[in-house]
Amino acid sequence: MKQYFELYQDCFIVKGAKNILLCDVHFNKIIDITDFYDIFFEDYYFPVDDDLSEIISFLIAEKFGSLTENFTPEKFRKKFKWRTANKINEVIIEHKIKDDFETAGAYRIIEDLSTSFLQIRFLEFSLARLDEILSFIEFSSIRTVEILLPYTGLPQDMTVIEILKKNLRVKTVYFYNAPKNKSIVDDDNLFTVIYYEKNITNPKYCGIIQEDYFLNDINNISKSKTVNNCLYGKLFISSSGDLKNCPSAEKITNNIDTASISSLTQEINTEKERFITKDQIDVCKDCEYRYFCTDCRMYRENPENIFSKPLKCGYDPYTGIWEDWSKNPLKFNAIKYYELENIN
């Protein structure tokens, strides 16, 4: 009986203009199969042939699939569907020593939104302020918290780390404006401390596209196929209380002191950028990395086109070459428009 090689259900192929990838979301693996993609039928199986024994052995050893006499019909293959009950799953909030908005009220809205992820950015800092903010999430339904703090180099920094390590919601602490980049991982407590030389609270540092930021998991991939994987479900609360889709957004949706859950939900649904998928974006729709990539609708090669390729991406899917985006002369007008000349 004829045998076939069939990809496992967690494996799929992504075709770009030049390169073709085989991806496994279970074992988090991606390989380039451009040189032998043409052996596949329907992008998930091919008949066994003696000439293909080396390729088949490799794919089986790497756990991309198995041999079968009856391959699964395409209609029974796993389909990627992304669903969420919440309009907002991720909130970024800025704090100064004294906020220009009612802090307790802001955290009540965050809780009412059933947010699962919260990033807290301290533009100014004191231990008393940290204690106050932590008190607002003490009994919260928030699952994961990241905290950004200005680096001081004082013993206070170590005190802060010990305080935050005891809060099980806090998984990552960033110290910005640090003397050098480094990270310290505490695997026992699932806690990471990261030091950045740059001031990462500056929104002009957002939107960089690079391989280190790629996410090969079923949640991100299915989300990328359905909505914008960066903007959908995100809300930014500035230090003045203004509400935006993200820190780099120009449009102000509302103010946290006057917003209600119902009005906020309605306003979010009108923001088109939240619903743009990678299959709709110029150039990106021809890129083999499109479902793993982060996206940026706020910094675009053509600022007037919401479907334009991200400005801070240096990859060309038509040549398969990565270059420094900031040195590309074709991007200079957009770089000037966004006032990014001194950002690198």
Distant-in-sequence, close-in-space partners of 91: CB < 8 Å, separation ≥ 6: 110, 113, 115, 117, 118, 119, 234, 235, 236, 237
pLDDT tens track for 99-132 = 999 999 999 999 999 999 999 999 999 999 999 9
Q: Output the pTM of the full model.
A: 0.91
Give mean pLDDT, residues 212-239: 93
Dist CA 129 CA 146 (whole Å): 16
Give mean pLDDT, residues 167-179: 95
Beta-bridge partner residues of 22: 13, 31
- CB distance 66 to 5 below 8 Å: yes
pLDDT tens track for 19-64 = 999 999 999 999 999 999 999 999 999 999 989 999 999 999 999 9
Q: Are strands 234-237 and 90-95 parallel, antiparallel or unpaired?
A: parallel
Share of the chain above pLDDT 90, in %: 81
**Paired tokens of 206:** 């957002």
Q: Where are the domains of the chain?
A: 4-76, 90-272, 280-337
Using 50, 70 and 90 to split pLDDT, how confident is the model at 265? confident
Which has the minimum average pLDDT: 20-24, 74-78, 213-217, 275-279?
A: 74-78
Distant-in-sequence, close-in-space partners of 284: CB < 8 Å, separation ≥ 6: 278, 290, 293, 295, 309, 310
Give the model's pLDDT for residue 344: 61
